[in-house]
Structure 1
Amino acid sequence: MADRIKLPKMAPGQRYGRLTAIEFSGRDHAGKILWKFRCDCGNDVTARSASVRYRRSSSCGCLQREAATKHAMHKTPEYKSWSQMLERCRNKNHHAYKDYGGRGISVCDRWFKFENFFADMGKRPEGHSIDRHPNNGGNYEPENCRWATPKEQIDNRRPVTLHKRMSKNNTSGVQGVKRHCGKWQANITFQGKRYHLGTFTKIEDAAAVVHEARERFAIMASSSA
């Protein structure tokens, strides 16, 4: 029989599936170590640390409930925006965490529940995505968010972020878009690989394609995590 993989000791802040370790909570009747965890859905749960570390438990039970009764809107654009918003702010392993949760940006308690998020934001117009306004301040909450077009997102983007991420040769002022032979080229890099998304007459069209690609890759990265 294969040896069990030895994992690092548990510590506050470590994530296991949807669970984030909070603190040691003693031992159970069998002498097994217990920890208190906070689930991404907002619930706190106490569980054996070994079960969580070896992924026999990866949520407070909400994963099982979701599997039994899948949310009626789980395939909608609104649900995908909501789940990605939570991932960016709460999952330290998410590729965009450093720009959101890592900067102290959080999601209000009310929006831990999708039904509340949808009631406040409504249906997502085609070609739009969630935007904090102004982008450089505030958290994800009803008073600070809107559905925005790629151009509105660009106009609202943090100048410091653009300065840090754009190539010195960038001629558009938009990350992933550059001027070439009188037109605008759209490109994106994902997991070390560069993708050419097309060439466009209008900068707005190139920016929109880049923005949509970022969303698709973000979902792919989250699904494979």
Structure 2
Amino acid sequence: MAIVDMTGQRYGRLTAIRPTVKGNNGMRWLFNCDCGNQTETPGYNVRVGATVSCGCKKAEARPAEDRFWEKVTGGDVTQCWAWNGANKDGYGNFNLGGGAWTQAHRFAYEHLVGAIPPGLYLDHLCRNHACVNPWHLDPVTPRVNVLRGQSPTIVASLAGRCVHGHLHTEVGLYVSPDGRRFCRGCIAARRARRAAA
């Protein structure tokens, strides 16, 4: 395969000077960067835009807070502030830089309200997990966070029933030594199924 002559050509902040050696990734080239440094890198990486500087461009990255607010719509403290960036399971994710990520609502809370107390979770009072409005977030214990949730188990428990419909007042609850709660009606039904098998 012929060597692509890049001499004198400009790619991003880099200007090709001369080829150096042929490596595993094709021909390596020596480049002058606009910042004054020289760097050696595979020519292909530069031609396709994977490398655009000697590394100085990363050092000039914009502050995380500036990048964060570009991904938020809303502004009225009574309304949800929508996160328009990356998300996982409905919760916004924000790249802090350097490979570090955080949940978007935590970043907003810590920058506008303050540190989240150790051991506490942020509960979305608005029930909108993509909301980053810190006035919609309440630092609570993990237990309170779960009890405020809307999972079928919690909804049934708050209605005084187990997930299978047994009323807690009629059949009662068994509380194990470690504090877990079990429906006595479900325990009896499970024992009956096992005895019949």
TM superposition score normalised by structure 1: 0.27
| Structure with the largest fraction of strand | 2
Instruction: Report which of the two structures shows the higher radius of gyration computed on alpha carbons.
Output: 2
